[in-house]
């Protein structure tokens, strides 16, 4: 059964327009509460990033959950992975995230965590969608849900982040630039690294409700690179608006993406073992990552794009490390979901143990040249329905033989078709990526 509202990362859209209208979000809270009441404690937590619309959606969700008889803990601004953690530790059955991640402030979204701090299964999402088709029925007054604000939510999460590395680890002597994207980590990430004795230069820590991800954060790593060089820092850490993505910068100003971070974490895991377990990437993961991991003795599998699918494959294979080029990194031995701060701490821990710089640690992986062009489209569509697109993709693949690949995929969160070409030869990459993107534009834009 096809999902009507849920995409690869919850429900997302422009503020005030369906389905991100206040009335729909109120009903979504009620529907989620109705499903929740079948399974457990009748408690939910609600957290948000720093978008101005978060206040509106927080109130709507609280009202909907209360109408279904569900008590809520209000966490305030806190990263998405912090909500996953507190869902577990507060004994809630549901974690609700109000965020559109790396999108601009005029977008927002809702996603849910289970009692275990993991993304909801498709089956539960379909149950919620089924309830959305019904009229709201409020429980009797004596059974209405109550709301309580958790004042120390940020402090609890800070302590959790620090607990994912050795008690003896000190970052003393390291100068770190931390870019919080004016988002949910603004008051948390700098504290984590300072409390581990690093010298921290924070940027993107002045949210005003409308500047989240605006020229800062993990989608603008060049900004961080400039700050690292300016301050002669040892490392740069860039997070997105809700704190579940991580992009890094080494001391030379070179950007270290999610593929390289996965590689570093995988290689660090070998210190306790003679051989590696498996690693999960996605269809977008660089071919260089796959080859480097296989050379080191790891198995490597690709999941569909989306950390939800990476998680599913990790659990299926009983592996622990996986991630996406965009910076969604999973380390299941440390936490249940993608966590930018926790991932950064694992890389810093690898640096401390090896006594090597980030620049040195990433050298074992050689990335294939890759280009991505996002084509904005009028309506969501499978690009391979076009014969013209099929033909140019065949021509590209024949030209690159077995030394390159083409990937076309429709975004699950935005009206885009992503055109990606990867090969040993950058001239071929640029030529075919532009040619394919031009045909996709002509067919669907």
Which amino acids are annotated catalytic? 101
Helix axes 153-163, 340-354, angle to 10 degrees: 30
Residues 6+ apart with CB under 8 A from 117: 84, 85, 87, 88, 95, 335, 336, 337
What's the CA gap between 166 and 351, in Å, rounded? 13
Q: Are 171 and 189 in contact (CB under 8 A)?
A: no
Strands 321-323 and 278-282: parallel
Q: Are 362 and 256 in contact (CB under 8 A)?
A: yes
| Cis bond before residue 19 (omega within 30° of 0) | yes
Site of tokens 């996953």: 84
Q: Are 84 and 113 in contact (CB under 8 A)?
A: yes
Helix, strand, or coil here: 388?
A: helix
H or E segment to which residue 74 belongs: strand 71-77
Q: Are 321 and 262 in contact (CB under 8 A)?
A: yes
Partners of 248 in the beta sheet? 237, 256
In Å, what is the CA distance from 409 to each residue of 304, 398, 414, 440? Answer: 10, 20, 12, 11
Helix, strand, or coil here: 303?
A: strand
């Amino acid at each position: 059964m096809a999902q009507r509202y849920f995409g690869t990362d919850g429900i997302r859209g422009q503020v005030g327009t369906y389905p991100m209208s206040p009335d729909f979000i109120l009903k979504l809270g009620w529907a989620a509460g109705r499903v929740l009441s079948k399974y457990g404690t009748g408690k939910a937590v609600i957290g948000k990033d720093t978008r101005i619309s978060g206040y509106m959606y927080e109130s709507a969700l609280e009202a909907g959950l209360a109408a279904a008889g569900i008590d809520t803990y209000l966490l305030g601004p806190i990263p998405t992975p912090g909500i996953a953690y507190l869902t577990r530790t507060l004994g809630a059955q549901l974690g609700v995230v109000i965020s559109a991640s790396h999108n601009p402030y005029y977008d927002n979204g809702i996603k849910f965590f289970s009692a275990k701090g993991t993304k909801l299964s498709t089956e539960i999402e379909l149950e919620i969608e089924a309830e959305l088709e019904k009229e709201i029925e409020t429980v009797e007054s004596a059974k209405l849900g109550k709301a309580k604000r958790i004042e120390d939510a940020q402090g609890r999460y800070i302590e959790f982040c620090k607990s994912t590395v050795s008690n003896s680890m000190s970052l003393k002597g390291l100068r770190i630039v931390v870019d919080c994207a004016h988002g949910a980590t603004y008051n948390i990430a700098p504290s984590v690294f300072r409390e581990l004795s690093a010298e921290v230069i924070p940027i993107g820590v002045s949210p005003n409700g409308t500047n989240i991800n605006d020229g800062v954060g993990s989608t603008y790593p060049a900004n961080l690179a400039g700050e690292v060089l300016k301050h002669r820092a040892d490392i740069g850490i860039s997070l997105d608006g809700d704190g579940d993505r991580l992009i890094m910068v080494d001391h030379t100003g070179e950007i270290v993406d999610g593929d390289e971070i996965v590689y570093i974490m995988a290689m660090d895991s070998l210190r306790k073992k003679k051989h590696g377990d498996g690693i999960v990437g996605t269809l977008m993961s660089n071919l260089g990552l796959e080859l480097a991991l296989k050379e080191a003795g790891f198995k490597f599998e690709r999941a569909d794009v989306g950390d939800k699918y990476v998680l599913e494959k990790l659990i299926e294979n009983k592996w622990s490390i996986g991630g996406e080029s965009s910076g969604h990194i999973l380390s299941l031995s440390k936490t249940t979901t993608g966590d930018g701060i926790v991932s950064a701490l694992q890389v810093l821990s690898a640096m401390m143990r090896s006594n090597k710089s980030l620049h040195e640690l990433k050298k074992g992986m050689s990335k294939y040249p890759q280009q991505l062009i996002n084509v904005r489209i009028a309506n969501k569509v499978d690009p391979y329905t076009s014969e013209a697109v099929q033909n140019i993709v065949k021509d590209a693949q024949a030209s690159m033989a077995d030394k390159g690949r083409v990937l076309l995929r429709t975004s699950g969160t935005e009206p885009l078709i992503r055109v990606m070409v990867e090969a040993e030869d950058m001239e071929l990459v640029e030529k075919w990526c532009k040619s394919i993107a031009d045909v996709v534009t002509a067919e669907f834009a």
